[in-house]
Amino acid sequence: MEYRKIKHTFYIRIDKGEDVTDSIKDVCRREKIQAGYFQGIGACDLAVLATYIPGKNDFTDHTISGMLEMVSLMGNITTDNNNEPFLHSHASFSYLNQNGVVVITGGHLKEAHISYTGEIILNAADEKIDRMMDLKPELRYGNYRVERW
């Protein structure tokens, strides 16, 4: 992975074999980014997506593999209770199924392995935004805390 910073924006190139979320977190740690947002595209060979199932109060993971085009990636960066970067990201992928038909799928991105290249644009905020657990226990999900001044 390589990146270049121009003002508050980071242009990140993720290389073959590297994980998208790990690479973004690595840039955040190196550059001390505590809040921001990102978007990206790329080619992957494996992705793990999650979908929330309200009736079960749980997420279901979906693993896809093969020649995957990451047609859209977007997410935000906050800081967790351990002062580590926390990513909340969603992604869409297209691929050919067994019948040669293009399929598009998406969801909450847990991991994605780059097969050729990934291109991410990350915009860093000047201040820290903390991630906190939601008070609604059925969600088991963290929200970010925005303090007003």
CA dihedral for 132, 135, 136, 140, sign (positive or negative): positive
Q: What are the pLDDT digits (tens) for 21-73?
A: 999 999 999 999 999 999 999 999 999 999 988 888 788 999 999 999 999 99
| Cα 29 versus chain centre, distance | 15
The architecture CATH gives domain 2-140: 2-Layer Sandwich (3.30)
This prediction has a pTM of: 0.90
Residues 6+ apart with CB under 8 A from 76: 35, 36, 37, 38, 87, 88, 89, 144
Task: List pLDDT tens digits, range 79-107.
Answer: 988 999 999 999 999 999 999 999 999 99
Task: Decide: 112 and 44 in contact? Cβ < 8 Å.
Answer: yes
**pLDDT for residue 149:** 39
Domain boundaries, the chain: 2-140
Phi and psi based region of residue 71 (left: phi greater than 0; alpha: psi -120 to 50; beta: remaining): alpha
Which pLDDT band holds residue 146 (cuts at 50, 70, 90)? low
In the numeric block, the tokens 């279901």 are attached to 60
Q: Does position 113 have pLDDT exceeding 90, yes or no?
A: yes
